[in-house]
Amino acid sequence: MTVELRHLRAFLAIADEGTITRAAARLHVTQPALSRTLRQLETHLGVRLIDRSTHHLQLTAAGHAFQPRAAAAVAAVDEALDPAGAGTWPLRVGHAWSALGEHTTPLLRRWKQEHPHTPVQLLRVDDRTAGLAHGTVDVAVIRGRADLPDEVHTVALLTEPRLAAVAADSVLTRKPRLTLHDLSTEPIAVNTVAGTTTPDLWPADEIPTDIIEVANTDDWLAAITTGHAVGVTTTATAAMYPHPAVVYIPLIDAPAVTVYLVWRQPPSHPAVPDLITLAQRLITPPPLRLSPGRPVLQSPRAV
């Protein structure tokens, strides 16, 4: 049997909806037809993808492993057949929040100068891998750790100092610098989908007890501007999301966040290596050149 795109769409719909009934309605097919399509796919792969032992269907371990591959394949076909993209092949760069901060515009402008025939699409995707795991982007900007597919390459691009984000009328704005201790008694807005802030950032005896969970940067900012919470972020957010009702203050005892560029190997777009090279050239600081015999001194916070 030859696997077709409909087999992948059927599996993804069932995985998303959790029942054959809802998945069939979504795909406008009958339930028996959808069940047959799933069985055909499982027979071809030689593994069970969906556990049917309960009323609410669950992915098996093989199903969880296959899901991002199937999603990436469907996304690639949809992208290739999109009439809006006929004649062009945009390079899709994903990010969950703040892109590359202050470096975003210079990078995009330089890219347009050097690669005028390859447009870049900057896409905000609210998940930990910024769309890379599901094949919706060619390169992802990722902060901190993420559960990435095995076939990816990663390069550390820069580190960003952390900042506290507080409402403009907060008493915390009276301090030029803040510590985690200063925030420990405040409600903390935490992006549980793609953020880098968790309660573990605080010492064990100062972990905040009032956590306000949000799913994206817009909701995070709303919680802060209204005075319902404070936030912890990086300098990139201050550059990309300036707001008259928010003050960003250096957070002096929180570790910096490493920013990575991540892409699949082989690349899903031929221009990926060029983008990586350009980003490194514009953003990554050059190596320090030392005079012979001269030691390098580092402050304890730099280690």
Where the chain has pLDDT below 70, the residues are 1, 54-55, 83-87, 285-303
Position 293 in a domain: no
| 121 and 262, same domain (yes or no) | yes
Position 301 in a domain: no
Position 38 in a domain: yes
Position 291 in a domain: no
| 118 and 40, same domain (yes or no) | no
Per-residue model confidence (pLDDT) at position 286:
60
Query: Do the bridges between strand 139-143 and strand 257-264 make them parallel or antiparallel, or are there none, so unpaired?
Result: antiparallel
| CATH code, domain with 37 | 1.10.10.10
Per-residue model confidence (pLDDT) at position 291:
44
| 155 and 264, same domain (yes or no) | yes
Position 195 in a domain: yes
| CATH code, domain with 208 | 3.40.190.10
Largest Cα–Cα separation, the chain: 77
Position 68 in a domain: yes
| 261 and 155, same domain (yes or no) | yes
Per-residue model confidence (pLDDT) at position 75:
81
The tokens describing 250, both together, are: 């250096």
pTM for the model stands at 0.72
Question: With contact defined as beta carbons under 8 Å apart, do 72 and 134 qualify?
Answer: yes
| 120 and 244, same domain (yes or no) | no
| 62 and 186, same domain (yes or no) | no
Residues 6 or more apart in contact with residue 58 via CB below 8 angstroms: 50, 51
| Per-residue CA distances from 202 to 167, 198, 207, 217, 257 (Å) | 21, 8, 5, 21, 15
Position 295 in a domain: no
Number of separate domains in the chain: 3
| Per-residue CA distances from 216 to 60, 62, 101, 120, 251 (Å) | 29, 30, 16, 23, 21
User: 48: number of CA atoms within 13 Å, CB side?
Assistant: 8
Closest-CA residue to 100 (of 127, 68, 48, 139):
139
Per-residue model confidence (pLDDT) at position 287:
58
| 220 and 278, same domain (yes or no) | no
Position 290 in a domain: no
| 240 and 266, same domain (yes or no) | no
Domain range for 193: 162-250
Residues 6 or more apart in contact with residue 11 via CB below 8 angstroms: 38, 41, 49, 50, 63, 66, 67, 70
| 237 and 178, same domain (yes or no) | yes
DSSP bridge pairs for 139: 93, 263
